[in-house]
A and B are shown apart, each in its own frame.
Chain A
Amino acid sequence: MNVEQSLTAALMQTPGRKAEEEAWPADAHLHQPPEMSHLLLAERSSCLAVKTFLLMSGLPFSEQISENAEFMSPGGRLTHLPLLRLGPIATFAEFEPIVAQVEAMRAVNDWMSEDQREDVRCLVTYVENVLTLAELHMSFVDSGNYQLYTAPRIEAAHPWPLGLIRRLAKQREARRILKVYQWQDMDNDQVLHEVGLCVDALVAQLEEHQPEGFLCGQRPCQLDALVFGHMAAIATTQLPNMELAEILATYPRLMAHCRRIDERFFGGKLLAGVEQLELSK
């Protein structure tokens, strides 16, 4: 009887305990290359989105600058960055795997219904793909941006001739990803059209939840973090060809939403310069 009791008690306790065991480790580190000198547009978006998401979830982490973060990464679909390290061994890279890991450890989205969560997940994948591909296209296929922004930045991160080799390798990788999603033959207008469709969907989503304030309801979720990460990176990265930033600037409602997130989590510092840019127009 006693044994049985304690056994059932143990079984009952197990799930509860497990949730406790999955505590957020004290040494959580977010690794990324130096933002101002090395990071490319798509990488910067991804890093910013992850950082925003972790801040939204209220999870403590320390930011680490690792020049080789891209190579330390356990893999990934698009940029391989940033790298989240939980404890001495576990590592996760890129926005979606990190969000999945955080969801598994913490009930961050419990306020949503299962259907809603499913919708958010779909939308996250769609937005992540379109915006990242557009950023890759803009930084590697657009020749002005490639020559004046992307290439010098990659080469600056390594001594010659390694920089040259890395530039060619990264260009090949970017072209490979674009080819996988059949974006390789698009011109800038087609890319901007795709971005427009994606942002239209986001604006519709925002209007649907107009009274509540965030993209999915009354609380910020990963979609807000992702959209903010990309919008902020695109708006604040000075490229020779700013077409991508210009098209986003035509969606004032979405920009206002991003500015609100900026105010709340970054003290309004990230998008401070963008306002002036718009005013000057």
Chain B
Amino acid sequence: MPQSGRDGAASKDSKYDLSKISTRVDRVNVSGLLRTHNDYVMRAADGLFKTNNFQDLMLEAMSTKSYLHELGIFKDVSVHIDISRGADATPQGYEVTFKGNEMSRMMGSAGTEIGQNEGSLRTELTIPNILGRGESISLQGSYSSTRANDLQLKFWKPFFHTRFRENRPELSFSIFRQTDRFDISSFQTTNIGYNVDFSAHTMVGVDLTHSLQYENSIRDVGLLNKSVPFAIRDHCGPKLASLLRYSVIFDNRDATVFPTRGLLLKSVNEYCGLGGNIAYTSSTAHGEFNVPLFAGLVAQFCGRVGVVKETKNTTQLPINSLFYCGGPLTLRGFKFGGAGPVVEGTPIGAQTFWCTGAHLFAPLPFAGVFKNLASHFRMHFFYNIGNSNSFSTENMRSAFGMGLAVKLAERARIELNYCVPVRRQTTDKILNGFQFGIGYEFV
């Protein structure tokens, strides 16, 4: 490190206080740009030139490094800080060099992905940085045995290099084909269409993530077996949906899978009926609040509520936009979709639903012994309450139980619970005993 030689005298008594070492950044180099346009990384230097002591310089260099990563052009980046040399070097001048290694022309990956209560096999082919400013194209296919088959071709362009860098704006366009199987109601839907998505952060008071989408798709409802109640059969056939979707997320939790403190609020609102022949509005809200208690115990309170409503153009609410309550992700102790209305013995989605959950997460006993491994496991006690098509607490469903929760890859949670349904309705399909759940958004 060169600072001892240059500033040795000035910082004798505070040898290790890097913030007292004054610096001036003379030059910032970003090397390794082959396909990328220079202006795309221009803003990387903004923060560095503003620093005036060595500690800030180092921190800023780190954040610039992660910023360069986020630009999506480099496979890896290394930072070199050196004193500046040459004719126009200032006395306290420094030179920061980022050596980047650009991504290859084409990247492929295959692996498993965790969706809501399903695991799926996913393959992806990406052409990154196709036009030199972070624009990328990816082709994604995923297959799962239980519910969904997806194929998606996506083009996206980040605008991190503009003056709205802090807002992280990003625009994407995708063409998709997606199959969802609703085995419990014996139908499946195939969606083919495209969507345009614009997402950005705002930091007015609180940090929010917004996403505004326009989707245009053909939704084809087909049956999975012959003896289906007419109320479901009535929905068969292709229809054209044209909708706007707005979602907003607030998240200040300290971790996504096993947070100890913080709040997550999420809301998704859809307005369908801008042309096409499907019309409805749909809103769902999800909240999660974590409170740390003593001895590593964490209390968590979750809630979710959803409403689908007719608009004045609605002739029939689409069956595939209704809500299914029950299952390991919502009301534990019930089968998936088992806590909702029923026609002729077949569960059918509900127009409104709500469910709440109170959880107590505890570290495993003797967790101190296997520290690393134990951080992936929690003991889990829960109490769930919820209902479909009614916001009153009469006739509601509830269940409690305990089990083991496992963290998977910082994103998903696997639960194995012993569930005891407490209150149910006669048509409900319950599951008294062990229930397995996998997903990333639980109630």
Contact = CB atoms under 8 A, between A and B. Distances in A.
Interface of A: 66-68, 70-72, 74, 85, 88-91, 158-159, 161-162, 165-166
Interface stretch (B75-83, B231-239, B283-291, B331-339): B231-239
Contact of A162 (B218, B222, B236): B218
B384 to A, nearest CB: 32
Given A70-B237, A72-B236, A165-B218, A159 B276 contact: yes
A159 B240 contact: yes
B230 A88 contact: yes
B228 interface: yes
B275 A89 contact: no
Interface in B258-297: 275-277
B234 A158 contact: no
Contacts of B226: 74
B237 A72 contact: yes
B276 A71 contact: no
Contact of A88 (B235, B240, B275, B344): B344
Contacts of B222: 71
Interface in B139-158: none
B260 to A, nearest CB: 50
Contacts of B32: none
B230 A85 contact: yes
Contact of B275 (A68, A159, A165): A159
B236 A68 contact: yes
A181 B28 CA distance: 76
Contact of B277 (A66, A70, A74, A159): A159
Contacts of A162: 218, 238-240
A159 B222 CA distance: 19
15 contacts: A66-B234, A68-B234, A68-B236, A71-B221, A71-B238, A85-B230, A88-B344, A89-B227, A89-B229, A89-B344, A158-B238, A158-B240, A159-B240, A159-B276, A161-B240
Contacts of B229: 88-89
A166 B277 CA distance: 15
Nearest to B343: A88
B228 A68 contact: no
A95 B235 CA distance: 23
Nearest to A91: B233
- Nearest first, the 4 A-B pairs at minimum CB distance are A71-B237, A68-B237, A71-B236, A162-B240
A88 B346 CA distance: 12
Contacts of A90: 227
A72 B344 contact: no
Contacts of B239: 162
B270 to A, nearest CB: 18
Given A89-B344, A158-B277, A166 B230 contact: no
A89 B230 contact: yes
A91 B226 CA distance: 9
B228 A89 contact: yes
Given A89-B228, A165-B218, A72 B276 contact: no
B227 to A, nearest CB: 5
A233 B64 CA distance: 75
A70 B234 CA distance: 11
B234 to A, nearest CB: 7
Candidate in A74, A89, A91 with the most chain B CB atoms within 10 angstroms: A89
A162 B237 CA distance: 11
Contacts of B237: 67-68, 70-72
Given A67-B237, A71-B221, A91-B230, 19 more contacts: A66-B234, A68-B235, A68-B237, A71-B222, A72-B234, A72-B237, A74-B226, A88-B230, A88-B231, A88-B343, A89-B228, A89-B229, A89-B230, A91-B233, A159-B240, A162-B218, A162-B238, A162-B239, A165-B238
Nearest to B220: A71
Contacts of A88: 229-231, 343-344
Contacts of A74: 226
A103 B202 CA distance: 69
A68 B230 CA distance: 13
A158 B238 CA distance: 9
Nearest to A71: B237
Contacts of B218: 162, 165
Contacts of B230: 85, 88-89, 91
Contacts of A72: 233-234, 236-237
Interface in B208-224: 218, 221-222
